[in-house]
Chain A
Amino acid sequence: MALDKIGIAKRIAQEIKDGMYINLGIGIPTLVANYIPDKLEVVLQSENGLLGIGRFPFEEDVEADLINAGKQTVSMLPGSSLFNSAESFGMIRGGHIDLTILGAMEVSENGDIANWKIPGKMVKGMGGAMDLVAAAKNIIVAMQHKSKSGKSKLLPSCTLPLTGTKCVRKIVTDMAVLNVLDSGGFQLIERAPGVSVEEIKEATAGKLIVEGDIPEMNI
């Protein structure tokens, strides 16, 4: 059975290592924070100027001047720091953030990503996504394998306006975990519980590389 959003978030949480500085995008990536093992110490960055995002505040501690990049009210953990937007993106472009997790509408087999615009339909803007994908050392995409209309989101090349080129390293979908190879192609690493390689092949429009037995995810 394909994973739900929480399943995707739980699987991505397994990629997190002790000591990482991490930027989580809006949507499924935000959920990842709930499944980071307690024994790991990581620091979450919010690009509007906060390192050390804590849980949502208790009702009486809600502070309009303390939000995350998704505009949600948050709290700060001990050791937090605050800074301006130029400094925030300096630390992003400067390569100081170890891991970026973000959503996507399309990913291509050479690692291009599209997630900010549907011409004629939706224009919300790229926010910080272009800066993040241009510079993060490691980028994991969290998304559904297929669109709501059933079309594959893993493509030979993106059809929507790009957010960045050759930057995605790993994709976790409701059906599979895949690496994007430097030489091009989606290398199948793991299957969602009960999802067959055949089903993943059918749902992947781009070049899928399957070598040997593909284990099920352990979540």
Chain B
Amino acid sequence: MINKVVKNAQEAVSDIQSGSVLMLGGFGLCGIPENCIHAILELGIENLTCISNNAGVDDFGIGLMLQKKQVKKMVSSYVGENAEFERQLLSGELEVELLPQGTLAERIRAGGAGIPAFFTPAGYGTEVAEGKEVREFDGKMYLMEKWLRADFAIVKAWKGDTAGNLIYKGTARNFNPMMAAAGKITIAEVEELLPAGELGPNEIHTPGVYVQRIFEGVGYEKRIEKRTVTSKN
């Protein structure tokens, strides 16, 4: 069996080159690969294309990569809560492809599943449709959208094992499972890394076949964007 376990984030990302296409899991700051993002910041590579639902916030997540001007292009669905992003976008420094969230998710899923294109109703009649093939099925109009694949998919899971199997927690699952399948090389960072056999096969969300490198991350901050609570009084 090939050893998938690497020591840490630095080792996991060490061969990512400038100009690479990356997928980064997460929704907002929930379920983002914090350790790998920090390692990419240290690596100092640039001209990256990042496929990720959001672009972090100014001082956390992908926002940090934007501050260091490592990102050439973002492919996302929602990029609010990030002033530096908006500044780079409006000044033309950063190229951005905004997609309906479901289209983004399905394009990534298609990439991992060997489906080069599909038709979706989302975005028909809007500027998202510009330049895309439109076709009618049963009286309704649909856009053709193509698969997305990446040189490196970087995902975050709750638990993983040495065979690369992954289990996510709560809504931190989001884009991570589809991205895991759509990377030529998939790097998984997990909060707890266990020997193969310790995770129940019935509980696995991402089968190990998709994961090439795995490590146990350290020092998770898990920053909360909007802490909303119910008072007991």
Contact = CB atoms under 8 A, between A and B. Distances in A.
Interface in B58-79: 76-79
Given A49-B173, A65-B170, A67-B28, A135 B109 contact: no
Interface in A71-104: 71-74, 82-86, 88-90, 92-93
A47 B101 contact: yes
Interface in A157-184: 161-165
B52 to A, nearest CB: 12
Given A47-B101, A82-B170, A161 B225 contact: no
A82 B232 CA distance: 26
Nearest to B221: A64
Interface in A130-156: 130-131, 134-135
B224 A64 contact: yes
Contacts of B177: 84, 86
B171 interface: yes
Contacts of B132: none
A111 to B, nearest CB: 11
Contact of A89 (B30, B101, B224, B230): B101
Given A58-B229, A70-B226, A130-B128, A49 B174 contact: yes
Interface residues of B, number: 58
Contact of A164 (B103, B104, B125, B222): B125
Chain A binding surface, main DSSP class:
loop
A124 B177 CA distance: 25
17 contacts: A47-B102, A48-B28, A49-B171, A55-B230, A56-B228, A64-B222, A124-B80, A126-B77, A126-B128, A127-B78, A128-B77, A130-B100, A130-B123, A131-B102, A131-B120, A162-B125, A164-B125
The 10 closest A-B pairs by CB, nearest first: A89-B102, A131-B102, A130-B100, A124-B80, A65-B170, A165-B125, A64-B222, A134-B121, A127-B78, A125-B78
Interface of B: 27-31, 53, 76-81, 86, 89-90, 96, 98-106, 108-109, 120-128, 158, 169-178, 205, 222-230, 232
